[in-house]
Amino acid sequence: MIAMAIIGMLIGLLFPAISGVRKKARLATAQGAFSQWANGVTRYKQTYGFYPSIGTGTYDTKNDSIYGLESGTAGVNFIMALSGKNPDGSILKDSDRKAYNRNGEEFCAFAKDDFEDYSTNTASTGVLMDRFGNHNIRTIFDTDSTGTIKAVPGLDATKTPPDLSSIASGGTGIPARIIIFTTDLDIGSLEGLEKGDVADVIAIQ
């Protein structure tokens, strides 16, 4: 009985530690994926001379631009722009190629773990997610070409990670061309996802 009680106590002590290690590993993987996406955007800009316009219209060059990738439109356009393919891997039709990636060049490859539901999302909606299951992914481009991202129109300060507070408050901003992030302040609607289950994932270039 005593031995079983001790084992139970040890398990109770080890479980939080194991969970913490798993969360750190998942965070590292998530940040790695976002960094690859950001690298893809950088390569896109170097190739074409402008950022991909993944919203419903052209971006405003007088301001930095923010896109929410949980929107099917922006998510699909983001994938087409960076991969040079449709979410399911098929070749882009001429109009999409002209709009998003005229050379059909692959700047970034997307993995199965990048999608909320690979079998469904690659067929149509292209909903991406981080490694915690949060699909409320924000991408910010330095479309005003100042080399600093700050006071982005449309950025919700209440749903911005503390590390990015200077761009949400209209402060000095962050020297960057691209920021991609998710946060536990703005978790997605995936069933069972709670604030304690996710972490801030940020890639800055």
pLDDT at residue number 19? 54
Q: Which amino acid is at 36?
A: Q
Query: How many angstroms separate the CA atoms of 49 and 192, rounded?
Result: 42
Q: Edge-to-edge strands of the sheet including 201-204?
A: 65-68, 138-141, 178-182, 201-204
Residue bearing tokens 């965070």: 27
Q: Per DSSP, what are the bridge partners of residue 174?
A: 149
User: Which residue did the predictor score with more confidence, 16 or 97?
Assistant: 97
- Could you tell me if 182 and 130 are in contact, meaning their C-beta atoms sit under 8 angstroms apart? yes
pLDDT at residue number 142? 95
Q: In the chain, what are the domain boundaries?
A: 30-204
Query: How many angstroms separate the CA atoms of 76 and 10, rounded?
Result: 47
Q: Which residues contact 86 (CB under 8 A, 6 or more apart)?
A: 76, 79, 80, 92, 96
- Could you tell me the pLDDT band of residue 52, with boundaries at 50, 70 and 90? very high
Q: Which amino acid is at 35?
A: S
**Is a pLDDT exceeding 50 seen at residue 15?**
no
Which is it for strands 138-141 and 65-68: parallel, antiparallel or unpaired?
antiparallel
**Mean pLDDT in residue range 120-136:** 76
User: Which residue did the predictor score with more confidence, 6 or 188?
Assistant: 188
Average pLDDT, the chain: 84
**Is a pLDDT exceeding 60 seen at residue 40?**
yes
User: Which residue did the predictor score with more confidence, 101 or 10?
Assistant: 101
Tokens of 53: 């316009």
pTM of this structure: 0.86
Our CA angle for 7, 10, 15, nearest 5°, is 125
pLDDT at residue number 17? 47
pLDDT at residue number 188? 72
What's the pLDDT tens digit per position in 86-124?
888 889 999 999 999 999 999 999 988 898 765 555 555
What's the pLDDT tens digit per position in 146-187?
999 987 888 888 999 999 988 876 678 899 999 999 999 998
pLDDT at residue number 95? 93
**Rg of the chain, C-alpha, whole Å:** 19
**Is a pLDDT exceeding 90 seen at residue 137?**
yes
The phi and psi torsions of 136 (rounded to 5 degrees) equal -80, 75
Tokens of 66: 């923010």
